[in-house]
Amino acid sequence: MLRRLSYWLPVLLVLVLVAGNSYWQQAQQALLAAPIRFSEALYEVKPGASARQLCRQWQTQQQLTAWQCQQLKLYLRQHPEQAQLQQGLYRVEAEMSLQQALALFRSGRVAQFSVTLIEGETLAQSWQRFADLPYLQQDLQQIAELQQLLRWPAEWGELAPMPELAQQMEGLFFPDTYFYTANSKASAIWLRAHQALLTQLEQIWQQRQPDLPLQTPYQLLILASIIEKESGLQAERGLVSSVFVNRLNTGMRLQTDPTVIYGVADYNGRITRAHLRDPHPYNTYRHHGLPPGPISLVSISALKAAAAPEQSDYYYFVSRGDGSHVFSQTLEQHNSAVRKYILGQNNEQ
């Protein structure tokens, strides 16, 4: 009898161990597959939070049981590398398995938010866009505080007097989409945009055509901002640039409407004769040369057009009303195009 018992006892022990291990493996799989439901698309893992703390929270919400939290405790003892969570705000699905949720919170792949600075916008318009951004620390309270972030390269020359402080900073931020994580500072995004502008402008300035009537990279930026506002059609920006370069080379006034609009406070969609007579420093109908500063955020294509205008004999252009323009060499040709496309009079009638 004892001989038989001594024979079967090890076998029984092995069977018990195998069965116990199988049960534990199944219990682990069931635990990790347990559904966790999130009521919102974003979930914050607070500093110092642990998987066991989250489990107790989900237990309070009746998503997990006390026994499941005890199982998780034992599981994490066997797999301590899975116990470390990284704080942050995460994008979650409406329902995830416990394993998926904990894996996400270990990964550090926190939610990304974005803001887009749009070419052609003014700094004031971009500033208002920042005011509505979620999960961003608004560490700048007034637009004037942006000035402390700016670097003015010596090769840009002296800054011309301008009526408003915001105008001194116009165009000094590069239009692009900038990504940030929760609790980032607004100043950090503005600084990235300014540094991007400095980099892009310097690269394009170094590649500019020789003999342009531009003395500094800042003047290139000013001209590019006018091109930006005059035409959204990239294919013709080189010709638009050539018109302004030809005028600068011959001493003609630029006479461009966007500069007039930028300098007046009462523009409501229609330029009046009073606007054209307004002597504000941006009015290129009243003043020769470039205005004192940019009039908008400037894209890469506008910068390139300013640095490399097409070769032409054009001195005028007028909108067709479809986004494109008619270019003319003489005032007579230009007036004819104005009558056709602006005043609605066809000379052939």
* Domain identity same for 129 and 155: yes
* Domain identity same for 157 and 301: yes
* Domain identity same for 90 and 118: no
Centre a 10 Å sphere on the Cβ of residue 61 and count the other Cβ atoms it contains.
11
* Domain identity same for 47 and 193: no
Domain extent at residue 75: 38-110
Cα–Cα distance, 212 to 203 (Å, whole number): 16
pLDDT of residue 245: 98
Number of folded domains in the chain? 2
Exposure on the CB side of residue 45, measured as CA atoms within 13 A = 27
**pLDDT tens readout for residues 234-272:** 999 999 999 999 999 999 999 999 999 999 888 888 888
pLDDT of residue 349: 36
pTM of the model: 0.85
Residue 198: left if φ>0, alpha if ψ -120 to 50, beta else—which one?
Answer: alpha
Residue 344: left if φ>0, alpha if ψ -120 to 50, beta else—which one?
Answer: left
* Domain identity same for 132 and 265: yes
Asked if residue 349 is part of any domain, the answer here is no
* Domain identity same for 127 and 90: no
* Domain identity same for 125 and 261: yes
pLDDT of residue 23: 55
**pLDDT tens readout for residues 170-180:** 999 999 999 99
| Average pLDDT per block of 10 residues along the chain, 349 residues long | 57 52 66 93 94 94 93 90 92 96 95 96 93 92 94 90 88 97 96 98 97 96 97 94 98 96 87 91 96 97 98 94 92 92 60
pLDDT of residue 161: 81
CA 283 to chain CA centroid, Å, is 31
Q: Are 258 and 267 spatial neighbours (Cβ–Cβ below 8 Å)? A: no
